[in-house]
Copies of this chain bind each other. A is one copy, B any other.
Amino acid sequence: MNNNSYYELYEKETPKSSGEYVRIKEEELRALVENIFENNGLSKEHSKIVTDVLVSADLMGISSHGVQRVNRYIMGLKKCCVNPRPEIKVVREIGATAVIDADAGLGHIAGLKAMDLAIEKAKTYGTSLVLVKNSQHFGIAGYYALKAIEKKLIGVAMTNSESLVSYVNTVGKTLGTNPIAIAIPKASLPPILFDAATSIIPVGKVEIYAKEEKELPHGWVLGDDGKVISKDSKKALEMIKNNRASLLPLGGIGEEFGGHKGSGLAFIIDIITGVLSGAAWGIHVGYTVGEKPANVGHAFAAVNIESFMELAEFEKRLEKYIEEIKSLRKIPNADSIWIPGEKAWYTMQTRKKIGIPLHKNVCNELNKIALDSGINERLNCL
């Protein structure tokens, strides 16, 4: 924390093989992706929002939720069920709460509007809860939670998602990875950002392990015979895709290590974001490229620190707590003691300087979409 140069070139997710990756400047990537969305029917404003969420994920080292999703979103727009021109409507608004209908547009658009409303309401009432229904994938939950930081509020964002995770003591893909993000402002940067799926790992991690031919750790994936799958990550990925395996909830299989806790959290988040919002839940939550609108549900909340305590006092207390954490003794082989959100933050600073590493396949895919969309600009993928 005190030695900023230490983190100067830190990356949370370092490209393994430099030959497979190319560094693209943030601005260049933004310009192309914005263009792609605009040329596929989105308004200029909405294109900017979706691009900002995706590029932020890449900057923060969460490439699974970055521009590699563009292809999927464009397919969803072309195939049927993503609405390029959604009219985002507040369909219910009472006191510190509201329900927003995303009109089947990309979740980023309604998500940002809902978070802004949650922030406004928290400034008035001290806290708030805004739900979104009839939405699509909204990218990283942390993006929205961080919006509250800009106003020195605490921000919360949750979403459900297509089913991939097993419910405790059962087999099959029943729950989404249903993440929750909570951002808390600090006196100095970076802010605290807790952003976690309620499964042990996201499916993107199995994809990376399969691609890199790494051994799958025992305890991430459950076969439909009720046995944990390990070692063969390619086979595990294949089985997940063919509905013959699922991700395990945080806490793992059964109850011995708390699988009922991860599964219970995912279930509760689904009830708030899906059941209570009017969206789909569990196995009914759709995918961006599907036969019908995905009907994803989100939830956003904010907390006004000054309703409880002077901001300066809160920041001073929090700084002291973090100092105490930073002075703890590490377990052997741990790289560093991290506060939630630090890794993502330092990765972002690094990538703003040296560019975003894109896998060449993703880079070429974006150029192909640009070509198909009648755009002249190209990324330099060599």
Q: Which residues of A contact B (CB under 8 A)?
A: 92, 94-97, 99, 124-129, 131, 154, 167-172, 174, 182, 184, 192, 194, 196, 200-201, 217, 219-220, 222, 224, 226, 250-254, 256-258, 260-262, 264-265, 267-268, 270-272, 275-278, 281-283, 301, 303-305, 307-309, 314, 317-318, 321, 324-325, 328-332, 334-338, 340
Contacts and interface: CB of A to CB of B under 8 A. Distances in A.
A158 to B, nearest CB: 12
Nearest to A180: B265
A307 to B, nearest CB: 4
Closest 5 CB pairs of A and B: A97-B126, A226-B331, A169-B334, A170-B328, A95-B125
A276 B308 contact: yes
Contact of A325 (B174, B260, B317): B174
A152 B318 CA distance: 35
B309 A276 contact: yes
A125 B128 CA distance: 9
A162 B92 CA distance: 42
Contacts of A271: 184, 192, 318, 321
Nearest to A201: B258
A335 B255 CA distance: 11
A204 to B, nearest CB: 15
Contacts of A127: 95-97, 127-129, 301
A337 B226 contact: no
A116 B348 CA distance: 44
A139 to B, nearest CB: 19
Given A125-B125, A169-B331, A278-B308, 11 more contacts: A95-B96, A95-B125, A99-B309, A169-B335, A169-B336, A170-B329, A172-B328, A194-B264, A200-B251, A250-B262, A276-B309
Contact of A275 (B257, B318, B328): B318
A256 B331 CA distance: 14
A331 B260 CA distance: 13
B129 A275 contact: no
Given A127-B129, A314-B276, A167 B325 contact: yes
A211 to B, nearest CB: 19
A224 to B, nearest CB: 8
A309 B91 CA distance: 11
B321 A169 contact: no
Contacts of A282: 321, 324-325
